[in-house]
A and B are shown apart, each in its own frame.
Chain A
Amino acid sequence: MLAAEALELSSGWFLENAWLTGLIPVIGFAIIIAFGKKLPMKGAEIGLASMAASLVIAVGAALQWVQRTDSAEGHSEEAFGLLRAFGRSLPSATEGEAEPFIPPVVKTWVWWQNSGLEFGIGSSIDGLAVLILALVAFIALLVQVFSIDYVRDDRRYTHFFAAITLFAGGMLIMVMAENMVQLILGWEIMGLTSFMLIGHWWEEEANSRAALKAFFTVRVGDVGLLVGTAIIFFGANQWAVDNLDSNGFNIAAIQAWALSGEANTQFLLWGAVALFIACIGKSGQFPLHTWLPDAMAGPTPVSSLLHSSTMVVAGVFLVARIYPVFWEGFNIGTGGLSFIAIIGSITIVIAALLAFVQDDIKKVLAYSTVSQLGYMMLGLGTGAWLPAVFHIFTHAFFKCALFLCAGSVAHSGSHHSFDMKKDMGGLRKKMPVTFWAWIISTLALTGVFPFAGFWSKDEIIDNVGANGYTFLQWVSLGGAALTAMYMTRATYLTFFGEPRGAAAGHGHDDAHAEEHEMEHISVGAPEPRSLSSAANTQHGGEGSASDEPHGGHGASAAVDGSDHHHDDHHGDHHGGPHESGKLILVPIVILVFFAIVAGFANPTPLASRFGEGVEVLKTYVEPRPTPVIIEEFLATGPGESVALTEASAVVAAESGEEGGKKAGCGFTAPEPGTACFFPGVSHAEPKFTKILLSLAVVAIGYALAIAFCVSFYGRRNPKLVGLTERNTVLRGGFLFLKNKYYLDALYENVIVRAIAHPIAKMAYWVNQNVLDATVNGVGIGTRKTGQWVYDNIDQKIVDGAVNGSGWAASEAGHAMQPTQSGKIGQYGALLFGAATVGAIVLVLVNVS
């Protein structure tokens, strides 16, 4: 029944010890907290070193994973040499041969055991894990390099590096998680550290409010994570114990359970719903996306890291990690319109629309992230697993680059302001490197050929359509056009047109800067801002446009005299806008390089020409939907070289066509004694016309937006200026967007007020009348008891006993006094007499 053939897979030191990538940042965090302030670079070097070490291990693991996968390929080539003779470029499905499933390298330690249930911590490394591990470590390293200069002289510089190191560590721990408990651990570490980092400048009330909002909004979703994990555990545990000698927290067991065909559909459905609610919270999906833009209150490096590779992609990663649960729970395989796809597509559109009315450059990018996360979720929700994961990968580079560009602009161009309308404009000449980095990243984000975003986003759109969701495909195409438009607007306002405010070289006095920062941070304040500011007339003449960007920091900080630093303030007075320093530009340039080339990690449209070999991610990251014999899977100890048996030589997956009922993993139950770990997702055949269509849509978006920007912002076309004030419909729409669909108002005024206030009142009543009464009653009772105890027990019994023993000792002493005669003879007689008595007793006892 099974073509059993042993398969030797290679492993390696990096794969087995990939858990170090998570451990090193945590240790780094502890060292920075404990000794950071005494170190020469105030702890930054520890953060950088730990991220660099994690990166080395993650990259090593990635290379060894590639070797491991290739070692299986080599085997196939031997076994099917004849078939291979047709040439490598043929898709493997046509050869009638399924590529073997490559089991992850697992290394785990049990830290707690309870009634046969083992809780482990460790690493489970497969293609998805190594991809995200390397990505997170890489982005985090670059962001830390950027931060050295960006948050220099900050009051809590050391704490910043500690928190940002732990933040990356939390993501790494989550990514390598082998069971759900560890995943929750990493997830919560990120929740905590994001709170610390968003509220880094907590002296401003708005910042600490934003931090609290982020924490609590995510927490709403986190309830779903706990509930979902519990549901899945109760559904999967028995099956996992019976079949895999594992338990219901083990991720591999959950994957196998979901695809086993024996899983209870109710457990799957509600587990998937609950877990996806967690992802809505964490990944900023509608309707819990409101915390993400407010999270901009944190320092820019934090926004950058949070929005590119950690935190927000955690939700997407969770869906990708236990994809079989969602696949079966939401019937993605059979073309069901899933909850994930609906939420994802709503998010794409509403977030893109919100990006149009933001004046804060970071908030534009924040909504852009929300929208892109919507793409990832849409992809996952429609069966396009690989494109969604690919989009995580490419998005991280260009979104991180965009945020760092925004940081660079604020740092050196606009006097720490993020307001595009007030303090930017015309920076293209002054900051050429930042400008070109921004342009390339923008092109990558909007999906222009051949930049990174094109390959991944286009593939999501393509696959959504190919899987039968035509309407959602059009929604995502519309989203792509909107992306082009809002990014054009942001680009125009920042880099083109007339310089305004700080960008024009107008300095701010400190008082104004303070007020200004308050304004920029104040979340959700919808008051329209004037394009000019009164304080702009005050010229800050000092330090006129020095070429050396950070030359006078120390001295001017001393002159500044106040230790009250805001946002990105270092206490220095800039001259006019100028290009940022090397420590800021180098990370940006590296990221931009990847924003250009990252797409070639999986260029599906090129596969028909150059063979499947170019699809690196498809080969190495996507798990193969091939059943595995359970015995063989179990036999693999952690980190050992794995002997794997191909369970079934013929798997009719990978059809991608509509004809007939699909078979294989994810469609039919695996044969008894085998288990699937990944469903057979289909891949769209790239068509030239489709690519042209999406490029055309983006081009139209660009054309419209550029025309609008030039006439509206550039020439102040009277027909357009003030249109939102004159036209009622447009004004309504504008205000609706400006107020962010009134979701914040809904949450705070309706939900919080309706739910929290009565609860608070009831809790107060309970507090006053029940708890306080109880406490008081207990107090009075205790006092009375105490008095009684004092009178009776303490005074009479205890004291009596003490006095009595003293008296008895004294009397006994007096009675024995005569024996102490001082005569040695008498003492000797007593001694020997006692010894004699003792000897007699001893003899009697022993004899009888």
Chain B
Amino acid sequence: MLAVNFLLLAAALFAIGVYGVIARRNAVMVLMSIELILNAVSLNLVAFALMTGAVDGQVFALYVIAIAAAEVGVGLAMVLMIYRNRKSIALDELSEMKG
């Protein structure tokens, strides 16, 4: 069934995104991975909307895109500030919050 393919694609994207978040050291790469995860979720929502015939899921997808844009804006601003202060965006060096 067509919808199952959408869900499988979304799962794959999600897995790639999770890998990126955990494994990557570059902050920009981590942000991009987060975008992948969000898009995987959006894809899921659209797929479910297709299955049920309701338009809600598509509306939610639009909503997620808008939130994602904002999130990336904030994230990139933080990355920029971190780069200005430390001349580096390697995340494993940012461990001042260690408990």
Q: How far is the CA of A325 from the CA of B93 in the complex (A)?
A: 102
Residue A727 lies at the interface, judged by CB distance under 8 Å to chain B: no
| Other-chain residue from A817, A824, A828, A832 in contact with B99 (beta carbon distance below 8 A) | A817
Give chain A residues whose Cβ lies under 8 Å from the Cβ of B22.
Answer: 825, 828-829, 832
Q: Beta-carbon contacts of B77-98 to A below 8 Å, as 1s and 0s?
A: 0000000000000011011111
**Interface residues of chain A: helix, strand, loop or mixed (majority):** helix
The smallest beta-carbon distance between A828 and chain B, in angstroms, is 4
For window 1-30 of B, CB contacts with A under 8 Å fall at: 18, 21-25, 30
Residues of A contacting B92 with CB < 8 Å? 823-825
Contacts of A816 in B (CB 8 A): 99
**Which residues in window 776-833 of A have CB below 8 A to B?**
816-817, 819-825, 828-829, 832
Residue of B18, B22, B98 contacting most chain A CB atoms (<10 Å): B22
- Establish whether residues A824 and B98, one from each chain, have CB atoms under 8 Å apart when the complex forms: no
CB-CB under 8 A from A828, the residues of chain B are 18, 21-22, 30
Residues on A with C-beta less than 8 A from B91 are 823-825
Q: Give bound CA distance, A829 to B23, whole Å.
A: 9
Which chain B positions have C-beta within 8 A of A832? 18, 21-22
CB-based contact B96/A824 at 8 Å: no
**Within 8 Å CB of B96, what residues of A?**
822
Q: How far is the CA of A832 from the CA of B21 in the complex (A)?
A: 10
Q: Name the distance in Å between B68's Cβ and chain A's nearest Cβ.
A: 17
B98 touches A820 (CB 8 A): yes
**B23:A825 contact, CB within 8 angstroms:** yes
Closest to B33 in A: A828
| Residues of B in contact with A, size category | 10 to 19
Question: Residues of A contacting B18 with CB < 8 Å?
Answer: 828, 832
Distance of A312 Cα from B79 Cα, bound (Å): 93
- From B21, B24, B25, B95, give the contact of A821 (CB < 8 A): B95
Nearest CB in chain A to that of B97: its residue: A822
Indicate if the CB atoms of A824 and B23 lie closer than 8 Å: no
* Contact between B99 and A820, CB atoms less than 8 A apart: yes
A821 smallest CB distance to B (angstroms): 6
Neighbouring A residues of B23 by C-beta, 8 Å: 825
Set of chain A residues within 8 Å of B95, measured between Cβ atoms: 821-823
How far is B96's CA from A408's CA once the two chains are assembled, in angstroms? Answer: 96
- Nearest-neighbour CB distance to chain B for A824, whole angstroms, equals 5
Contacts of B98 in A (CB 8 A): 820-822
A829 to B21: give the CA distance in the assembly, Å.
8
CB distance from B10 to the nearest CB of A (A): 14
| Most chain B C-beta atoms within 10 Å of own C-beta, residue among A817, A819, A821, A825 | A825
Which chain A residues numbered 730 to 744 have a C-beta less than 8 Å away from chain B?
Answer: none
Bound CA–CA A483/B21 (angstroms)? 114
**Of all chain B residues, which has the CB nearest A831?**
B21
What is the CB-to-nearest-CB distance from A803 to chain B, in angstroms, rounded to a whole number? 24
B25 neighbours in A (Cβ, 8 Å): 825
A686 → B minimal CB distance (Å): 97
B76 to chain A, nearest CB (A): 16
Q: Are A820 and B97 in contact (CB under 8 A)?
A: yes
Residue of A nearest to B21 (CB): A828
Q: State in angstroms the CA–CA spacing of A824 and B90 once bound together.
A: 10
B28 to chain A, nearest CB (A): 13
**Closest Cβ–Cβ distance, residue A110 to chain B (whole Å):** 53
- A823 partner residues in chain B, CB cutoff 8 A: 91-92, 95
Kindly state the separation between the CA atoms of A819 and B99 in the bound complex, as whole angstroms: 8
Please indicate the chain B residues that have their CB under 8 angstroms from the CB of A817 in the complex.
99
A822 to B94: give the CA distance in the assembly, Å: 7
CB-nearest residue of chain A to B17? A832
Shortest Cβ distance from residue A177 to the other chain B in the assembled complex, whole angstroms: 67
Cα separation A821 to B99 with both chains bound (whole Å): 7
Binary per-residue interface labels of chain A (358-387) against chain B in the complex, 1 for a CB within 8 Å, 0 otherwise: 000000000000000000000000000000
Q: How far is the CA of A90 from the CA of B22 in the complex (A)?
A: 117
How many Å from the CB of B78 to the closest CB on chain A? 12
Residue numbers in A under 8 Å from B30 (CB-CB): 824, 828
Q: How many angstroms between the C-alpha atoms of A823 and B23 in the bound complex?
A: 11
How distant is A142 from chain B, measured CB to nearest CB, in Å? 79
In angstroms, Cα B96 to Cα A825, docked, is: 14
- Residue-wise interface mask of B (44-87) relative to A, using a CB-CB cutoff of 8 A (1 in contact, 0 not): 00000000000000000000000000000000000000000000
C-alpha spacing A437/B24, complex, angstroms: 113
Q: How far is the CA of A816 from the CA of B99 in the complex (A)?
A: 9
**Using Cβ atoms and an 8 Å threshold, which residues of chain B touch A825?**
21-25, 91-92
A712 shortest CB reach to chain B, Å: 111
Complex formed: what's the CA distance from A824 to B96 in Å?
11
A141 to chain B, nearest CB (A): 74
Q: Which residue of B lies closest to A816 (CB)?
A: B99
Question: Which residues of B sit under 8 angstroms from A822, Cβ to Cβ?
Answer: 94-99
Chain A residue numbers with a CB within 8 Å of B94 are: 822, 824
- Using a CB-CB cutoff of 8 Å, which residues 322-366 of chain A contact chain B? none
Residues of B contacting A829 with CB < 8 Å?
Answer: 22
Nearest opposing residue in chain A for B37, CB measure:
A832
Which chain A residues (455-471) contact chain B, with CB distance < 8 Å? none
Contact code string A677-696 (vs B, CB < 8 Å = 1, else 0): 00000000000000000000
Nearest-neighbor residue (CB-CB) of B30 within chain A: A824
A819: B residues at CB distance < 8 A:
99
User: Which residue of chain B is the closest to A836 with respect to CB atoms?
Assistant: B18
Alpha-carbon separation in the docked complex, A23 to B82 (Å): 76
Min Cβ gap B75→A in Å is 12
Residues of A within 8 A of B97 (CB): 820, 822
A821: B residues at CB distance < 8 A? 95, 98-99
Chain A positions within 8 Å of B24 at CB level: 825
Q: In the complex, which residue of chain A has the Cβ closest to the Cβ of B95?
A: A822
When chains A and B are docked, how far (Å) is the Cα of A824 from the Cα of B30?
10
Q: How far is the CA of A820 from the CA of B95 in the complex (A)?
A: 9
CA distance A825 to B30 in the complex (A): 9
List 19 extra interface pairs beyond A822-B95, A825-B21, A829-B22, CB under 8 A: A817-B99, A820-B98, A820-B99, A821-B95, A821-B98, A821-B99, A822-B97, A822-B98, A823-B91, A823-B95, A824-B30, A824-B92, A824-B94, A825-B22, A825-B23, A825-B91, A825-B92, A828-B22, A832-B21
B positions within 8 Å CB-CB of A: 18, 21-25, 30, 91-92, 94-99
Q: Top 3 nearest A-B pairs by Cβ distance?
A: A820-B99, A822-B95, A822-B98
A-B CB contact pairs (8 Å), 25 listed: A817-B99, A819-B99, A820-B97, A820-B98, A820-B99, A821-B95, A821-B98, A821-B99, A822-B95, A822-B96, A822-B98, A823-B91, A823-B92, A823-B95, A824-B30, A824-B92, A824-B94, A825-B21, A825-B23, A825-B91, A825-B92, A828-B18, A828-B21, A829-B22, A832-B22
